[in-house]
Chains A and B, each alone.
Chain A
Amino acid sequence: MESIITIEDMHTEHQGFIRRYIFSTDHKVIAAQYLITALIWALVAGLLASIFRTQLALSQKSILTPESYNAAVTMHGAIMIFWVAMPLLIGAFANLCIPLMVGAKDMAFPGLNMLSYWVFFLSSIILISSFFVPSGPAPFGWTIYPPLSADARFTAAKPGEILFLFALLLEFASMLMGGINYITTTISLRTRGLGMMRLPIVVWMQLIAALVFLFAVTPLVAGIGFLLLDVIVGTSFFRVTAQSQGDPLLWQHIFWFFGHPEVYVVLLPGLGIIAEVFASHTRKPIFGYKSIVYATIASAVLSFVVWGHHMFVSGMNPSLSYPFAVTTIAISVPFSVILVCLALTLWNGSIRFTSSFLFALGSFAAFIIGGLTGLFLGSQVLDVYLHDTYFVIAHFHYTIFPSVILASFAGIYYWFPKLFGRTMNEFWGKVHFWGTFIGFNVFAFPLFFLGIAGGPRRYYDITHIDYLRHFQWIHILSTTGAVLLIAFQTPFIINFFVSVFRGKQAERNPWKATTLEWLAESPPPHRNWNGMVPVVVNDPYEYSPEGEEEEDFKPQGILIPRDEVLREGTNAPTGKH
């Protein structure tokens, strides 16, 4: 029986270059757009870091002034979270994976999807422009605490700040638009046989991350609105003047109510990628699928009630530290469930060490260190000492970097064949991994000790401070690692672009993986399935099933011609819900 290919499937044959690759509504093109834009921003933010880290290492010689140093660290942080982490882990991977993995032809709202990328692009332009105004970009930390950020008396960078805040609002709008797509597509467009408990882990993670982001960022939109009024109109929501007393702490509450769930938003997709790569590279199902799903939901919910741990010594009522410390420490329990399940996936497996796997493994290992050091900061009495020191910086680099950078690389090496139809070079992938992983650890690990020594963060120069002077060697060591880290991105950049254009043709399923996206061609055509319908018949990780001879895995779904599916009637997924 021939499969019926509809007019829509044939659409792209007649589209010009612009409609096909630039203003495209195809989720795969949009994924590639987010990917490239985010990687460019990562390079920019990484170079910013190299510059200010060099300043720190060289201390007495000035590459940056103290003002531009503050602007550099602010922009590094803001760019990494909003213009790298979110578009990379979510914009790129949600767009690439979700429609294919749920068996859909595209996202639920493809036009909205395209709009979301271009709004993101616009936000990038506005952010870049903030670098070129005379007063320079925002210099008050990515946390934007008022009154430093709200009162023109204390900060000279007003135009740069306003541009930054508007760029931020646009970025939020773009990600929210994307989120509407991710949530609706995952819930609504699942193909036949795909109950919720058969979804690949990476889809669960993207769904939960999108929901957390939706509920976390929206109050911050309100807060930024108030901050803009303070800056532009001169109101006193957060400023303190002789005439009217705003509340600087209110901003902190609003910001961290968002800020804490946000770090889980940029963590969960990374964990999802690790799970996918672990399963296919150990030839075993993910251990504890249901536990991981429930634990993730529990962590996501809990993440909304821990924000006070950023404010232990801020002036917030000290009695509030008790419930916040309890919830903060408590959240380590569901997270450790997830990590233990991932670790047990390795046990009794048959592990293939590809670049993708190495990155997933490195991400997993580094994240364990990051998560454990969170226990120090969540214990409120320790936080009195460690708050705003380099210990905090080391902690969050050990949690964010593994997820945003290492796991993303794992995902890029893993799905590159599917997205681009070509293969990346394995040798250079491994070189990239070792340089990145070693460079990262040399950069980040020493910073814990600078924090323990009492070294405050956001300090232009510590040799100025007598009790810190003899720890300058930590800065020098850390900068060496950072420079190494940046330098080793070169093999990746070359590998990536050479492979896109001249890489070896990829097979349909190079990793012999089970999930639905590997049923499609590499790369999938417009509307993904060539007129066929993927129908799910198995659980998502049927690797090494008992009794199977030829292949050591059972694909999750099969492709069926459309009219056969129609003949069988019922339109609800029959898989386990």
Chain B
Amino acid sequence: MWPKDISAYGYWVDDTMILVSVITVAVAILSFVIIVYSLIAFRQSRNMQATRRLGAISKLVYLDVVLLVLDIVIVSFSSIGWSHVIQGRNELIKEHKNYVETRVIGRQFFWSFVYPGLDRKFGTNDDFTLGNYLVVPVDTTVILTLTSGDVIHSLFIPNLRVKYDAVPGRETTEWFIAKRVGDYPITCTQLCGSGHFMMQARLKVVKKDEYERFLNNYKVWLEEQNSKSEYTAYGEYNHN
């Protein structure tokens, strides 16, 4: 059920998930055991007279101290994980020297991915745009700079454990390092109109040399893909 994790830091999400699950299930079981026991042991037919004195079980209120400690553990774990998963563009550029960047523009109802071409610079002649098709190299820091052309969208890549809103009028950042080659789904997770459910895009993680070939001549590369796999690019747009 839980999608395969192909991200370098996805374990932060997954491990926090396990931590919180264990705690919540334990608390839930404890609560339900006490409640069910009470319902059986103290039903009217078995306990005609209620007693106001509770005895030792009233100490259960101190459970809240335990919960407080567990809360601190959860929040600490989650905060550290967050500091890895969500970073701004400037921090990322400083820390990761060799990164690959793609601009993403959410629209009603498709994703535009703008590639900088071989010169790795945006706004030059070799930039090109693909619709609903994100190609990235494996084991490389990928920075996505998101914005929207109309309403708020949100780019979600389950296998990489990344999600961030694409907001018109500003640029937001998503980043990841994909550890496995393959095809993975991308969906939109912010209600953007009647076609919200149709904004599925495709993430293709390829080897680094393939990525160079893709940037060099994406049209030829796409044709090869179309003939090879069942997943096709949904269209391409000429930049400029």
Contacts and interface: CB of A to CB of B under 8 A. Distances in A.
Given A365-B32, A460-B197, A465-B187, A148 B50 contact: no
B168 A346 contact: no
A469 B63 CA distance: 42
A544 B51 contact: yes
A456 B192 CA distance: 12
B67 A333 contact: yes
B152 interface: yes
Nearest to B2: A452
Contact of A154 (B31, B39, B150, B163): B150
B134 to A, nearest CB: 15
A145 interface: yes
A283 B198 CA distance: 56
A340 B151 contact: no
Nearest to B154: A388
A454 B79 CA distance: 22
Interface string A139-182: 11100011110010111000000000000000000000000000
A344 B77 CA distance: 32
Contacts of B85: 381, 384
A349 interface: yes
A247 B88 CA distance: 19
B53 interface: yes
Given A454-B156, A467-B3, A379 B16 contact: yes
- Chain B interface category by residue count: 35 or more
A363 to B, nearest CB: 12
B191 A458 contact: yes
B140 interface: no
30 contacts: A66-B197, A145-B190, A145-B191, A148-B193, A151-B151, A154-B108, A155-B193, A248-B152, A284-B52, A291-B61, A315-B164, A318-B86, A321-B82, A346-B39, A348-B52, A349-B42, A349-B47, A350-B44, A351-B39, A351-B44, A372-B27, A376-B21, A379-B77, A381-B78, A384-B82, A384-B85, A388-B156, A452-B1, A465-B185, A466-B185
Interface of B: 1-3, 12-13, 16-17, 20-21, 23-24, 27-28, 31-32, 34-35, 38-39, 42-44, 47-55, 57-58, 60-61, 63-64, 67-68, 71, 74-75, 77-79, 81-82, 85-88, 108, 150-152, 154, 156, 158, 161-165, 167-170, 172, 185, 187-198, 200
Interface of A: 65-67, 70, 139-141, 145-148, 151, 153-155, 240, 245-249, 282-285, 287-288, 291, 313-315, 318, 321-322, 325-326, 329-330, 332-333, 336-337, 339-341, 343-344, 346-353, 361, 364-365, 368-369, 372-373, 375-376, 379-382, 384-385, 387-389, 449, 452-454, 456-462, 464-467, 471, 543-546, 552
